[in-house]
Amino acid sequence: MKIAFIGLGNMGGPMAMNLLKAGHTLSAFDLSAEASKKFGGEGLPIAASAAEAVVDAEVVISMLPASAHVEGLFLGGAGKPGLLDSIRAGTLVIDSSTIAAATSRKVAEAAAVKGIAMIDAPVSGGTGGAIAGTLTFMVGGEVQDLERARPVLEKMGANIFHAGAAGAGQTAKICNNMLLGILMIGTSEALALGVANGLDPKVLSEIMRRSSGGNWALEKYNPMPDVMETSPASKNYAGGFGTDLMLKDLGLAQENATAVRAATPLGGLARSLYAAHSLAGHGALDFSSVLKLVQKAS
């Protein structure tokens, strides 16, 4: 299958590489020359523009930072044409960005007018899951479009859920990430408290992992350095899922909660704490670095 992949960041790059390894024909593009050079050096064909990448593509996949980027890419603006003008009718578009559900619906509706099928398919699983091809996809859109996408999604992920109509995948994602942000803060507080009392963080982590406080952070993504070799915390919080990206997702959750009049007090508090952490100069670090916010100074 000929696939165009737009967006080669920490998540998109490895996802595109897994499709290439699976035997698909790819044409990729990213505005970052550094990202293009990195993955181009690993054998990924790089196009000169997004419009060039989608020529004759059967499937177009995008993995971009925010709603404005997705809307700008597909719909254009300020006199610039959108990518939907370059994509041929009958093509399937899979947007794996995490953006506002309303934006997903807006772009999907514009795509439908041009005879282009589109699903929103944000992911969970972090950079480790992107590299290993074990991501979870939360899909919004028509069932038949999901089934068209399934053979492609299966090369990048281990779990595929149909959440509902267009935008539903985004809603599921912000619910998940709101919970993740809250859990990471709680896990960091507990570990910091234990260490302040002289406990070994490895021992405490294992105790809590096997007890009622067990959660994904303790299982896969420990925020304390040198407890889990594979976690960003043990790599100076480099790579992974940035604090500013978590802040963005928590903001989306609060915007959605306001729109539907849902009560999310812990989600609101988590957003404020990540905002403070970002303002302290840690926005580019992995979100598990929020441990620094609650850690006792040594």
CA distance 138 to 52: 28
What are the catalytic residues?
173
Q: How many CA atoms lie within 13 A of 135 on its CB side?
A: 26
Task: Tell me the pLDDT of the chain (298 aa) as tens digits.
Answer: 999 999 999 899 999 999 999 999 999 999 999 999 999 999 999 999 999 999 999 999 999 999 999 999 999 988 899 999 999 999 999 999 999 999 999 999 999 999 999 999 999 988 889 999 999 999 999 999 999 999 999 999 999 999 999 999 999 999 999 999 999 999 999 999 999 999 999 999 999 999 999 999 999 999 999 999 999 999 999 988 999 999 999 999 999 999 999 999 999 999 999 999 999 999 999 999 999 999 987 6
Q: How far apart are CA 115 and CA 87, in angstroms?
A: 10
Indicate the SS3 state at residue 94.
strand
pTM more than 0.95? no
Give the total residue count for the chain.
298
pLDDT at 143: 98
Neighbours of 200 (CB within 10 A): 12
> Any idea which residue has 């995490």 for tokens?
98
pLDDT (tens digit, 9 = 90+) per residue, 71-83?
999 999 888 999 9
Q: Check residue 232 and report its DSSP letter.
A: G
